[in-house]
Amino acid sequence: MEEPYAKILALETFRVEQVYAAPKPKWTQLSGRKLQNWGGLPHPKGMVPEKLPAWLQSYAEKISSLGAFGGKLANHVLVNEYLPGQGIMPHEDGPLYFPTVTTISLGSHTLLDFYHPVSRGQHADSEQVPAPQTEEQRHFLSLLLEPRSLLVLQEDMYVRYLHGIQPTTSDTITEKVANVAACSTALGDELLRGTRVSLTIRHVPKVLKTAIFLGKGK
């Protein structure tokens, strides 16, 4: 298998308490989990940008300075809170954020699972039309995201595969976990999930000028 383009870096000091302590949190609810949207609402026609709060701006700048966004500055952050047993369905991040997604994990670890898309690829060497694939059959790789890690996801891992998080309360480290050697865990370990807060930090290239919509005064 080709090596997926996923880099994981460590952040020494960032703790989940800093997210909860941030002023003016605007939590909303989606499929059970809580989330905060910062930077504006991404839209195919363009995002009306909103200034990031200073504590998020500093991380956006740090990650951007690693070159994660090809010299551009991250302008959008999604904060997700997952209680044990909560996850996110397999999905693609789509064109609005292409070509890079970066994620800081705080609090609990999680397993980020990668899936072949339903319709193509996974049975290229079979003469038969494959039977409908179960989610488990399409799941080919996971990454263990440890607290205070930064995941940088690009290329095939962004455009070809789906990613998701199982709604479970514990994770078993199997041979599908591709980065186990770089983690403080071993094959066969079972890790109990706690509450995880993730910050998905991205660059939305299509941005509109606020003045068009807001007009003057008031």
Ligand X SMILES: O=C(O)CCC(=O)C(=O)O
Least Å distance between CB 141 and Fe ion? 15
Strands (E), 83-138: 88-91, 101-107, 110-115
Among 163, 180, 183, 201, binds ligand X (CB under 6 A): 163
Based on the shown chain and the rule CB under 6 A, indicate whether residue 203 belongs to the binding site for ligand X: no
Considering only 35-43, 90-98, 142-150, 153-161, which stretch makes contact with Fe ion by CB under 5 A?
A: 90-98
Residues 6+ apart with CB under 8 A from 13: 148
Among 22, 83, 93, 208, binds ligand X (CB under 6 A): 93
CA-closest candidate to residue 196, choices 79, 32, 101, 38: 79
What are the residue ranges of helices labelled H in 134-205?
135-138, 156-159
Tell me which of Fe ion, ligand X, none is bound by residue 60, counting a contact when its beta carbon lies within the kind-specific cut-off of 5 to 8 angstroms: none
Measure the CA–CA gap between 99 and 203, rounded to whole angstroms.
9
Least Å distance between CB 80 and ligand X? 5
Cβ–Cβ under 8 Å, residues 121 and 167: no
Q: What is the dihedral of CA 24, 30, 34, 37, to 10 degrees?
A: -40
Among 64, 100, 103, 185, binds ligand X (CB under 6 A): 103
Least Å distance between CB 91 and Fe ion? 6
Measure the CA–CA gap between 121 and 160, rounded to whole angstroms.
10
Amino acid at 194: G
Among 19, 63, 77, 88, binds ligand X (CB under 6 A): 88
Residue count, binding to Fe ion (CB under 5 A): 1
Based on the shown chain and the rule CB under 6 A, indicate whether residue 166 belongs to the binding site for ligand X: no
Q: Which is nearer to ligand X, 163 or 193 (CB)?
A: 163
Where does residue 9 rank: exposed (0-12), middle (13-18), buried (19+ CB within 10 A)? middle
Site string for ligand X, 40-79 (x = CB under 6 A): --------------------------------------x-
Among 93, 135, 156, 189, binds Fe ion (CB under 5 A): 93
**136 backbone dihedrals φ, ψ, rounded to 5°:** -65, -40
Residue with smallest beta-carbon separation from ligand X: 198
Binding footprint of ligand X on the chain (CB under 6 A) = 78, 80, 88, 93, 103, 112, 163, 198, 200
